[in-house]
Structure 1
Amino acid sequence: MLSSMTLQPRYRKLLLLLLGVSCLLPMVNSPTALILGFMLANVVGVPHDWQIGALTKKLLSLSIVCLGFGIPFAQAASITIANLPLILGSIIATIVIGTLLSKLFKLERNTGHLIACGTAICGGSAIAAVAPAINAKNDQTALALACVFVLNSIALFIFPVIGHLLSLSQHDFGVWSAIAIHDTSSVVGAASAYGEEALKTATTIKLARALWIVPVAALSAMWFGGNGKLKVPMFILYYCLAIAISTLLPQGQPLYDGLFLVGKRLLIVCLFLVGCGITISKLRTHGSKPLLAATLLWLCIGSGSLLAVLSLQ
């Protein structure tokens, strides 16, 4: 087995590039890409001088905007309005339960709140927006991100399996995955493995859910003293603009179809990069309590939202 000292830095960079590009190929699916990234990070090692986290965020934003060109406005509006009570209710319930679990496990207040917000809205994007609003330290933000990414990885594998076992429709699976999976990349990865309709439903609901980053971050800033900075994730606005363009200018449909496919493949690359950021050593450093609390919170929102979806069938 290779160790992280076996390959020189330039060869690690070359290997990362080759594996990243290979994720653009049709035969590489979401779980495979995630495993490739995880294996690269833990067996060989990734280049320390490359800002992989920043690159992941930029590629994710670009891929989400591309997906917006494949979702008609009427469909996006109807799905969002129909599921608004579930979106709002799940966000409030997740933050409340997350706060209680944080106190139960005696986590640092900032860390517990970041885990709750990441679970409630859209994983890493929510954590990145809320962290400066509550003046979270870098290690608190990194720990919350690590917990979310680990659970995202698990969800990517088990959600399609559970969906098929329960014979969930494309629509129902899209709703459930958008509510119960933390990060947008894993939501889209799991939904795309389930089917095209599930993908469009999940993407629409997840990004409607992501719009709540702004009010949640603003309320968090006030709750934690009001001295933080508010960051607005611009990719959500660009996603809405993409939907508007494709709706108002239907003559560009062939181009929009191409951009939609590009978005799907870029998301596979994003999952590879997410895998590159998950290392066993990072998780061991912070102990088991934060991950255990995050797991219990995820099980609560996952099972609760599944019951809600099944009750509406």
Structure 2
Amino acid sequence: MANLATIVPGIGICAAIAIPCWFLGEALPVIGGPVFAILLGMLIAVWWKQSRRGSVQSGIAFTAKKILQYAVILLGFGLNLAQIAAVGAESLPIILSTIATALIVGYVLFKLLHMDSAIATLIAVGSSICGGSAIAATAPVIHAKDEEVAQAISVIFLFNVVAALIFPTLGNALGMTNEGFGLFAGTAVNDTSSVTAAAAAWDGMHPGSNALDDATIVKLTRTLAIIPITLVLGMWVARRESAANTNTSPADVTAASRTTESGPAAGAVAGIADANSDIPTAETSAVTASNGHASSKPGLLGSFSLKRAFPMFILFFLLASVLTTIAVACGADVAVFAPLKTLSKFFIVMAMAAIGLNTDIVKLVKTGGKPLLMGLICWICIAGVSLGMQQLLGLW
């Protein structure tokens, strides 16, 4: 109870910031509540520094980490796996192509631009899968700092807005069909709010079109990629920590992982994460002897741990999806899960407010050039591959 009393004030502050941002996001879905929250949090942080927050900082930190994980779990209640399997199968080759493209391009740019590995990982995953939700799921797995999450979210947001504004006109100019544009929006736009904004704009330009439903289902199918990507990253982090604790060279683990993980996309994500020197090793104190050197006995901490390798909140996310699927198959109304989906979205807005409060906006602006360039190139490549694959498969 004492611990709860410590974190409640900080959680309350994040909720207070999130409420107006939630309504602003409802009014302007092309921007969305999470972006409003992270921007407002950063503005407040300009004059309310962390050093002045006293006891409320622990609640803000809790919101940025734990509430964010709870949001991802609740997100699973919005996924009916049976519906996705039935309708999203046609889009699967394009989805896999765009995801692989973003991850591989992200890895190449990470090397060429000498970027921070955590930011590069978040941008690559956010561009390839589902924007803010993917970043929310990935950040705890790779132990990303709040300012790194903020920077990645800002980059994804920028190109989401651009896509929502120009893609309907681009689709018209290219002579796309209604189904083709739904597939294009679902695979080439990152965040769900921007996908729906782009598809809704297309439907408004083409009376009778149902691109919004098609785009939404394709987008939900992409969301499932959160599971294997975070699993690969979780295993990678666990292996690096185990290698460090047993005096094994991380480079050896890198080589082994790239040959055993599932394809170039997984290797690209793991490769970016490999250089993240900021990953903390919580086991350090447990394996340090009185003379200050790491113990030579690996013990339990030196061995591979499934619990440490697998992000448990992703397991709960998957279980929530399975529960939704079974309930709907048994005749339950999908509207039953709507409040949980809404709560998930609000938790994400709260977490983004906390992340904004923990972000130095001046530093963010000074270091924003390379992440923006990476986001731009990933965005262009994803759009190009989506259009090219449709042409190749005869879907447009």
Match of 1:146 among 133, 150, 161: 150
Q: Secondary structure at the match of 1:257?
A: helix
TM-score normalised according to structure 2 size: 0.58
Q: Which moved more, 1:36-45 or 1:217-226?
A: 217-226
Match of 1:87 among 73, 76, 95: 95
Q: Deviations over 1:48-92 (max 9, x none)?
A: 442332323322431x23322xx472x311333222222333333
Distance in 1 of aligned mates of 2:232 and 2:42? 35
Q: Secondary structure at the match of 2:89?
A: helix
Partner of residue 188, structure 2: 180
Q: Deviations over 1:257-294 (max 9, x none)?
A: 24236525753663575366355334135452244234
Q: Pairwise mapping of residues 246-261 of structure 1 onto structure 2 (< 5 A)?
A: 246-247=328-329, 249-250=330-331, 252-253=332-333, 256-260=334-338
Partner of residue 244, structure 1: 326
Which segments of 5 or more consecutive residues in structure 1 lack a partner in the other structure? 1-8, 133-137
- Give the count of matched residue pairs: 285
* Identity percentage of aligned residues: 17
Q: Deviations over 1:100-124 (max 9, x none)?
A: 2122112355654554344334531
Q: Pairwise mapping of residues 1-313 of structure 1 onto structure 2 (< 5 A)?
A: 15-16=16-17, 18-19=19-20, 22=23, 27=27, 29=29, 31-34=31-34, 36-45=36-45, 48-49=57-58, 50=60, 51-54=62-65, 55-62=67-74, 64-68=75-79, 71=80, 73=82, 75-108=83-116, 112-113=120-121, 115-122=123-130, 123-125=134-136, 127-128=138-139, 131=142, 138-139=144-145, 142-143=147-148, 145-165=149-169, 166-167=171-172, 171-182=179-190, 186=191, 188-193=192-197, 194-195=199-200, 196-198=212-214, 200-213=216-229, 216-217=232-233, 220=236, 222-223=253-254, 229-232=308-311, 233-234=314-315, 235-247=317-329, 249-250=330-331, 252-253=332-333, 256-260=334-338, 263=341, 266-267=344-345, 270-271=348-349, 273-274=351-352, 277-278=355-356, 280-284=361-365, 286=367, 288-309=369-390, 312-313=395-396
Q: Secondary structure at the match of 1:31?
A: coil
Across the aligned residues of Structure 1 and Structure 2, the Cα RMSD in angstroms comes to: 3.9
Structure 1 residues 72 and 294, CA gap change in structure 2 (3 angstroms):
closer
Which segments of 5 or more consecutive residues in structure 2 lack a partner in the other structure? 1-9, 49-55, 201-211, 240-252, 258-301
Distance in 1 of aligned mates of 2:255 and 2:378? 21
Distance in 2 of aligned mates of 1:275 and 1:180? 27
Task: Quote the offset at 1:219 in angstroms.
Answer: 7.5
Give yes or no for contact 1:176–1:305 (8 Å, CA) kept in 2. yes
Q: Deviations over 1:3-23 (max 9, x none)?
A: xxxxxx999657415425646
Structure 1 residues 106 and 116, CA gap change in structure 2 (3 angstroms):
same
Distance in 2 of aligned mates of 1:224 and 1:118? 25
TM-score normalised according to structure 1 size: 0.70
Task: Quote the offset at 1:149 in angstroms.
Answer: 0.6
Give yes or no for contact 1:23–1:272 (8 Å, CA) kept in 2. no
